[in-house]
Amino acid sequence: MIVYRIVNTEKMRKIEINKMLLGLVLAFFSCISHADENRYWDDLDENSKSEIINTIDVDKNIMKLYLHEIKLSDNDLTMTILDTLCSSSNGNKRMLYFYVLNENIKKSDGALAEMLGGYCIKYVNENTDYALEYFSKHHDVANDYANMIASELYLSNSSFTQYEKKLQHSTKSKCAKDYLPTFLKEIERILTKIDSL
């Protein structure tokens, strides 16, 4: 009887993993078919990046951050920079700001990582389709956001269900809608893990 339960549990786990992998594959192919809708900084060549930087008005501190002349830390300047990075912007400026935000999220730790959770929520809330379409192709960045969002929801005692509904309501593109369940499942998994510690 115990052996049957172990085997049955293992089979159920494999089925869940296969379902998640299938979801990722379907989301990926859906996003490829809509690849021209959104452009991202990492998709550009160096000449295009230089040309864009010379033609748009970029905040001087964000430019310094992009050029690795300053680092984010737990201070007022960092909050000002993060507010600017998460502000509503479109086109080339949005591409650059999202790239700079992602680069700093990847490198964050300690007090800065704790600060970034709220900014990750803000960015995804205000740029849901743009962020989710990117995450569907860059799972490492999606995992960074999921970790920070889960930590922020946990620390602020916010409802995962309300957050889930907000994202479901603000998701418009097919690619983002296809990837959203995978992203939410990862946030929920991390929340469960945090809660069990």
For the four alpha carbons of 22, 23, 24 and 30, in that order, the dihedral sign comes to positive
Q: What share of the chain is helix, strand, coil (3-state, %, to 5)?
A: 80, 0, 20
13 pLDDT more than 60: yes
Which pTM does this prediction carry? 0.80
Q: Note the pLDDT of residue 35.
A: 44
In single-letter form, the type of residue at position 113 comes to: A
Cα 155 versus chain centre, distance: 18
Q: Note the pLDDT of residue 144.
A: 97
Most confident by average pLDDT, 28-32, 108-112, 164-168: 164-168
Q: How far is CA 92 from CA 98, 140, 142, 172, in A?
A: 10, 23, 21, 21
| Residue 162 burial by Cβ neighbours in a 10 Å radius (0-12, 13-18, 19+) | exposed
Return the domain boundaries, the chain. 2-195
DSSP string, 131-186: HHHHHTT-HHHHHHHHHHHHHHHHHTT--HHHHHHHHHHH--SHHHHHHHHHHHHH
Summarised one tens digit per residue, pLDDT across range 84-135 is 999 888 899 999 999 999 999 999 988 888 899 999 999 999 999 999 999 9
What tokens appear for 113 in the block?
């990582």
Q: Which residue has the tokens 């602020």?
A: 156
